[in-house]
Structure 1
Amino acid sequence: MKEFRTYKRSVRERRAFLRFLAFSLSGVLLFVILPFFDVFGRSFTTAVTGRFNGIQNYKTIFNNQAFLLAVKNTLRFTGVCIPLLTITGLLIAVPLSRRKDAGVIKSLYLFPLAMPTATVVIVWKLFFYKQGFLNLYLSRLGEWTGLWGEVHTDYLGGGAAFWVLVFSYIWKNTGYTVVLWLAGILGIPNALLEAAKVDGATGPQCFFRIVLPNLKGSLYTIVILSFLNSFKIYREAYLVAGAYPAKDIYLLQHLFNNWFVNMEFDKMAAAAICVGGFLFLVIMLLQYFWDKKEG
């Protein structure tokens, strides 16, 4: 009898769990999974007639110079930004975790996330254009020191545009990175640190041997979120430089936008499948190495 009651309770719990997930799973199925399979099917057909043409769309995009340039720039942007963002957030979070007013300061770091993208872009334009505040300041500084003349560098039209975009990404996303690092740091039991100090461990030793090893979970979350967010920088780049920006900041999102405007849906579908597969593969690899280290 007792086993029967236990079985009935487990069945009720299982049904409650399924009912709880039903709405979210149906939304994912309707708005994510089914559209993905539709795009996957379209990647093997022509855009106008819908005729099946095999892997021709994939051959076309991998022979497309704009696609190769966008892939290179996007990977470069991701490779530069993720380490910078991760390290910057950690360097801010460690001293911040020792302050009593950490909550107020944390809110200030989250402020960029609340600012509309259009407002941020206007500020960047005022600051980085040829006649912007940065060139004006540098010109005045050169005039005052006598080391150089007037400066008219176009930071948004050349190679410097890439670093302007990197700065924009770091500035906007540092806040949530700091919050995630803080959550991990504050979750470390004080007893571990106090015991280490009693045993004579110095501050750097406590950090590298106790704090960092206990932040692996936070590191994994931050890397995944930063990796995904690095593919969403398009709004800033588009509003600053338009659909055809400087060569160094021509990203995959620009390419998708231009193909969409030109109704080249076959190429866009094939490229979307490739990008989605790449993101999935990277996340699975990160999960594999994470599980391997945990084991």
Structure 2
Amino acid sequence: MKEKLRLIYQQNKGLTFILPSLMGVSLFFLFPYLNVLIQSFMSPMENEGVSLRNYQQVIDNQAFRLAASNTIKFVGVCLPILLSLSLVFALMLRRSSRVTHWLKTGFLFPMVIPVASIAFFWRLVFEKQGLLNLLVSTIGLTPMDWMNTKEAFWLLVFTYVWKNLGYNLILWLAGLSGISESIYEAAQVDGANQWMIFWRITVPNLLPTFFITTVLSTLNTFKIFREAYLVAGEYPHQSMYLIQHVFNNWFREMDISKMAAGSVLNTGVIMGLILLLQRKWGAMDE
């Protein structure tokens, strides 16, 4: 019997090591999400199945449509800017060894600043009685309520890029450090210029890093709600009304079924984007 148990242990040793983590993930993430999935098909009052009625109500909701379109726009604008800008800085830092240390620290500094402090600073600058309007009025122009204009969306974009630039920079530098210098030296000996080296050597070898960085950056875009909420409250200007605002309002009203259905839709879209990116990355990697 002991020999049999020992054999089973040897065959499933890897599962033994991941079992504590798997139990934690199941207890705090998988099982609660399974309950959310069940609640998305239930009526909150009668506690009975209503098929896809909750999903239909969510899709027909004008606030949800506005928030979904703003979120898609935000992701579509921020990701290219953040990925390209962080890669450019990573390439520059890799070539310049003298300033790498203090520049890395400078890029990572926004990550340690509390979100509440960032929101307080934006309100101090951009509110109707803020510093920017004080400057505008001194030069003879008409002050504006900046947080209630379309420009508020670009403030969110700038905040997201500024706060996540250092994190992506470190990821790119880790990917670049995995490319052997001998490959670059061989390409230079063969007469390749810097542009050819970048597209034929650097980019193909950075595909795994590109996948990880893009996935993490996409997930981080859904955390920008904290800044928008602290700056403008539950009902900000419609240009910065995001998915999380809808969920927050539904949670306050205890509309659990709609919130569950919206969460499932949100998760499905994110997973679809990640799987599509993985498939595209796999095709590029081949």
TM-score, scaled to structure 2: 0.93
Q: 1:16 to 1:56 in 2, by over 3 A?
A: same
Out of 114, 137, 150, which is 2:112 matched to? 114
2:103 corresponds to which residue? 105
Structure 2 residue matching 1:232: 3-state secondary structure: coil
Out of 266, 273, 287, which is 2:278 matched to? 287
Does 1:208 pair with 2:199? Answer: yes
Structure 1 residue matching 2:148: 3-state secondary structure: coil
Please tell me the residue identity of whatever aligns with 1:16.
Answer: K
Please tell me the residue identity of whatever aligns with 2:106.
Answer: L
Does 1:242 pair with 2:230? Answer: no
User: 1:202 deviation in Å?
Assistant: 2.2
User: 1:180 deviation in Å?
Assistant: 0.8
The number of equivalent residue pairs is: 281
User: 1:138 deviation in Å?
Assistant: 4.3
Does 1:262 pair with 2:262? Answer: no
Cα deviation, 1:32-87, whole Å, max 9, x if unaligned, reads: 11111101111111113312222111111111101111110110101100001001
Q: 1:51 to 1:153 in 2, by over 3 A?
A: same
Out of 90, 95, 98, which is 1:93 matched to? 90
Q: 1-side partners of 2:52 and 2:251: how far apart?
A: 20
Q: 1-side partners of 2:11 and 2:69: how far apart?
A: 47
1:4 corresponds to which residue? none
1:177 corresponds to which residue? 168
Q: 1-side partners of 2:81 and 2:109: how far apart?
A: 19
Please tell me the residue identity of whatever aligns with 1:270.
Answer: A
The CA RMSD over aligned residues, in Å, is 1.8
1:274 corresponds to which residue? 265
Cα deviation, 1:171-190, whole Å, max 9, x if unaligned, reads: 10001111111111121111
2:28 corresponds to which residue? 31
Q: 2-side partners of 1:291 and 1:204: how far apart?
A: 24
Contact kept in structure 1, 2:136 and 2:143, CA below 8 Å: no
In structure 1, stretches of 5+ residues that fail to align are: 1-7, 144-148
Please tell me the residue identity of whatever aligns with 1:61.
Answer: V
**Aligned 1:63-102 pairs, distance under 5 A:** 63-100=60-97, 101-102=99-100
Q: Which moved more, 1:255-264 or 1:27-36?
A: 27-36
Q: 1-side partners of 2:253 and 2:9: how far apart?
A: 53
User: 1:150 deviation in Å?
Assistant: 2.3
In structure 2, stretches of 5+ residues that fail to align are: none
Q: Which moved more, 1:127-136 or 1:161-170?
A: 127-136
